Amino acid sequence: MVASTDIKFYVHTNNNAPQLTNSFGCMINVLDACLINGVFIGAISSLTISGKVATATFNGPHNLLTFQVIKITGANQSELNGEHRITAVVSSDTIMFELSQDSSVTTATGLISASLPPLGWEKPFSSVNVNGGGKAAYRSTDQTLLNKPFLRIVDELDPVYSSTYSKYAKVGIVENLSDIDTFTGAQAPYSAASPDKNWVGSGSGSSAINGWAKWYYSRSVVMSSSSSLDSAVRTVDGPAKYVVIGSGVFFYILNAHHHNDENKLVYGFGALDSENRNAFLSASIFDNTLVGANIRPAYQTPLTSTISSLSLVEMIKSFNHESIRVGGCSTLALPVSASSATVRSGSSDVFTNIVASPVYCVDSNNYFRGKFPSINYLYKNRPYQNLVPFYENGKMYLPVNIYTETTNGQVLMEVG
């Protein structure tokens, strides 16, 4: 049986992948590539087929990983074009994948190339800032979802902020948009006393407040248990490592915020695995925090932190999907740690000598809201090699190194 291509993933080392540098707009560039446009990998010099097994050789290094989904175009044989999941990385310039049926030829012809296809979301609204970066709104195109709120992103320099400070995108869930700056209905996070608090900065200098829910991608220090300032100047530039994993209804971006950091935060947006499939947002949550204050993003990012009172997943719908909880938050049920060296309680699936568990969502009224898609917590500290995919129990997994609020850890992402 040919593996499904519904869940796809992308890494910063892929050919032509946009990078998270120390410039506003980087987060939007990455999301545009992964959600909307795809990433061109390169021309294929030869494509041979034996039964259902295809072997593709590129003109140069492909920088692909096993289980990534590629899209073949340009082959004269139609059965070869389309999306395929990589089953083996043979060498730096050769991969293998499986077809759904036997090919009509043993050697393909045509001007053949490969790309990483996008997740198939839409970006109906956006704007560009003349000083760099801009704003964007993304939404799932899956017609089976009962509601499809927008992920709104502001990834540009705010007038109260300095271009030398840490870089992050301000993010939030917005129920309805008619243009990039006009929204109605619920949003999260939200304060009725200050409706624009998540989007528009206030104050000045190191006493400014700029945003509430944030996706950091450039800071002056690597992730650690020590706090640091958003206002600290980053003196050395360099791209931060990232992985984007998702489908047509959800995605995560697991990214570092310094080029020397192998660890990542777990940000994400989309539908929970549940009957109502309510939308969630995972971000670093800093309410009324001055840019000159000492902070630790991992400490207040829900899917990397055990401090549930400080790291809250954002939602806008109540448990019955009918009434709107404006700015409502959810907390995580057990398991509570992604980095423990010993087994903890919580529903578990047993991998080879390793205990892993799905991650569940419970709201502030103690209603079970569903399961976060794809992600699993591990209960031994980094039992797998970072970003080395493996197959077990009929599923494909990608281990990703993260940082919790105090120490190193690892999550196990199901990719197919």
Task: Find, among 69, 59, 85, 7, the residue nearest to 249 by Cα.
Answer: 7
Mark which of 333, 348, 380 sits at the end of a domain. 333
**Model confidence at 207: pLDDT above 50:** yes
SS3 205: helix
Mark which of 116, 141, 162 sits at the end of a domain. 116
- Judge whether 416 and 83 are in contact, CB under 8 Å: no
pLDDT in tens, 366-396: 778 889 999 998 877 788 999 999 998 889 9
Task: Find, among 223, 218, 243, the residue nearest to 412 by Cα.
Answer: 243
Task: Find, among 202, 171, 169, the residue nearest to 187 by Cα.
Answer: 171
Task: Find, among 216, 213, 156, 157, the residue nearest to 187 by Cα.
Answer: 213
**Model confidence at 345: pLDDT above 80:** no
Report the distance separating Cα 112 and Cα 97, nearest Å.
15
pLDDT in tens, 287-296: 899 999 999 9
Mark which of 99, 116, 133 sits at the end of a domain. 116
The model scores a pTM over 0.85: yes
Which pLDDT does position 51 carry in this prediction?
92
**Model confidence at 332: pLDDT above 70:** no
Residue reference for tokens 């399961």 = 371
For residues 172 and 303, membership in a common domain is answered with yes
pLDDT in tens, 236-272: 778 999 999 999 999 999 999 999 999 999 999 999 9
Tell me the residue length of the chain. Answer: 416
CA 351 to chain centre: 24
For residues 79 and 200, membership in a common domain is answered with no
392 or 317, greater pLDDT: 392
Residue 359 included in any domain: no
pLDDT in tens, 136-190: 999 999 999 988 999 999 999 999 999 999 999 999 999 999 999 999 998 999 8
For residues 147 and 241, membership in a common domain is answered with yes
Residue 388 included in any domain: no
For residues 126 and 229, membership in a common domain is answered with yes
Average pLDDT, the chain: 89
Residue 211 included in any domain: yes
Q: Confidence class of residue 341 from pLDDT cuts 50, 70 and 90? A: very low
- Lowest pLDDT segment from 193-197, 217-221, 366-370: 366-370
Residue 28 included in any domain: no
Residue 404 included in any domain: no
For residues 107 and 150, membership in a common domain is answered with no
Domain of 45 in residue numbering reads as: 39-116
Which pLDDT does position 274 carry in this prediction?
87
**Model confidence at 32: pLDDT above 50:** yes
For residues 213 and 103, membership in a common domain is answered with no
Which whole number is the average pLDDT over 263-282? 92
What is the Rg, in whole angstroms, of the alpha carbon atoms belonging to the chain? 21
For residues 316 and 223, membership in a common domain is answered with yes
Report the distance separating Cα 343 and Cα 336, nearest Å.
11
For residues 109 and 252, membership in a common domain is answered with no
The CATH number for 81's domain is 2.40.30.20
Q: Confidence class of residue 316 from pLDDT cuts 50, 70 and 90? A: confident
For residues 176 and 316, membership in a common domain is answered with yes
For residues 224 and 292, membership in a common domain is answered with yes
Cα dihedral sign for 74, 68, 270, 241?
negative
Residue 158 included in any domain: yes
For residues 129 and 170, membership in a common domain is answered with yes
Which whole number is the average pLDDT over 17-30? 97
367 or 321, greater pLDDT: 367
- Judge whether 41 and 73 are in contact, CB under 8 Å: no
Which pLDDT does position 344 carry in this prediction?
32
Which pLDDT does position 295 carry in this prediction?
92
Residue 375 included in any domain: no
**Model confidence at 75: pLDDT above 60:** yes
For residues 60 and 189, membership in a common domain is answered with no
Which pLDDT does position 346 carry in this prediction?
34
Which pLDDT does position 199 carry in this prediction?
97
355 or 353, greater pLDDT: 355
Residue 361 included in any domain: no
Report the distance separating Cα 397 and Cα 413, nearest Å.
5
Give the chain's domain count.
2
Backbone torsion region of residue 37, taken as left when φ is above 0, otherwise alpha when ψ lies between -120 and 50, otherwise beta: alpha
